[in-house]
Structure 1
């Protein structure tokens, strides 16, 4: 024998050989039952064929679980779309500023599981009769600037810049900049959705529906605050 023949055969050598000789097990079919492997789901050993069958069943279970999760997400999205549509219809039918605010708060609580919604507006309305409303309560300049810097809804724990604007029982938040006024590209206010559940709103969660809600609320508010062609 040559020195090369005495060298140990590595696992890679075996794998390469089997890849390059796909007919090997056809010519040596009995090996499929003779080779035994540890049972991945229990004690003892099983044949190579049985191990392959188990692997296939495991793959099928994973695929089935993924499909089930996709169906759940699709159903959740359909339900959320229906709720957003219902909100848009209700917003169109409010005749007063106070009725609009009541509707927004009640709908967000009942349909979207928000513990406490809050609106703050920092521009002066053309309707002076509503200037004393709580939504025009002053917010800090730092929070104002922070909201204006957002390019999409913020989701997560309470940002330090929000200070004592919200109840201390609230643990997670969505903060949505509200709309634009004419050529001014800066938001005219903010919609805050607070939850007592620290895991209700998390960083990285999808914001598409939140953006839609923000647009609907902003448009409805503007219709009552300003005489604009939206």
Structure 2
């Protein structure tokens, strides 16, 4: 390169100059009206002001969609919270302890539109040992329930718990919720929610709501378990 050669001006040079010279368009206001850009909605040329207006309208539309989505999620959460409150109320109003499993599964199906629901409870107090929901869980199922730190969601690979349902052949996805007494490592029951929709209980879904269901069910079913006498020191 010759010593006196001047390097060509690049687009970056122009962009940097305009960015660092904010009063340029104040001194050359007529240039703004002369600048023509290609519209994203076709090949026609539009002025800089019109292009900026289009960009602003697109941004507003995006914000409106986000706001609508937030409102929809808020409404859905309100509906879920209302249903959870009504389900909990049904459990609290159940006078006979032996009716709790039937009420819990029936109202879960009704209020949350779950096609099939079942539950098994083991280690129950003697008066409840003959109930249908207190038998039929194998040692493998009990060990599996105890191994779950979170509810299981996903397909039905021939799980034994799916056979507790009325129509296990139609199950495409299910949720298995372990029942525990507080932070006890051993589960004393397993709640099964099932659907013919493969996406209803998908493997990647959040489990926060199902965990709340498990905690409330476990607390209600405490009435079914033997009372442990307090240790006097």
Partner of 2:150: 152
Partner of 2:136: 137
SS at match of 1:188: strand
**Which moves more between the two structures, 46-55 or 199-208?**
199-208
SS at match of 1:61: helix
Partner of 1:174: 175
Q: Aligned ranges for residues 35-54 of structure 1 at < 5 Å?
A: 35-54=35-54
Query: 1:64 deviation in Å?
Result: 0.9
Cα RMSD (Å) of the superposition? 2.5
Partner of 1:62: 62
Q: Deviations over 1:30-71 (max 9, x none)?
A: 222222122112341211111111111111111111111111
8 Å Cα contact 1:96/1:224 also seen in 2: no
How many residue pairs match? The answer is 223
8 Å Cα contact 1:124/1:131 also seen in 2: no
SS at match of 2:162: coil
Cα distance change, pair 228–37 in 1 and its aligned pair in 2 (3 A): farther
Query: 1:164 deviation in Å?
Result: 7.0
Query: 1:163 deviation in Å?
Result: 4.8
**TM-score, normalized by length of structure 1?**
0.85
SS at match of 1:4: coil
SS at match of 1:155: strand
Which runs of 5 or more structure 1 residues have no equivalent in the other structure?
none
Partner of 1:99: 99
| CA distance in structure 1 between the aligned counterparts of 2:214 and 2:161, rounded to whole angstroms | 23
Q: Aligned ranges for residues 1-230 of structure 1 at < 5 Å?
A: 2-5=4-7, 7=8, 9-121=9-121, 123-139=122-138, 141=140, 143-158=141-156, 160=157, 162-163=159-160, 165-166=162-163, 167-180=168-181, 184-227=184-227
SS at match of 2:191: strand
| CA distance in structure 2 between the aligned counterparts of 1:145 and 1:134, rounded to whole angstroms | 18
SS at match of 1:218: helix
**Which moves more between the two structures, 102-111 or 70-79?**
102-111
Which runs of 5 or more structure 2 residues have no equivalent in the other structure?
none
**Which moves more between the two structures, 78-87 or 171-180?**
171-180
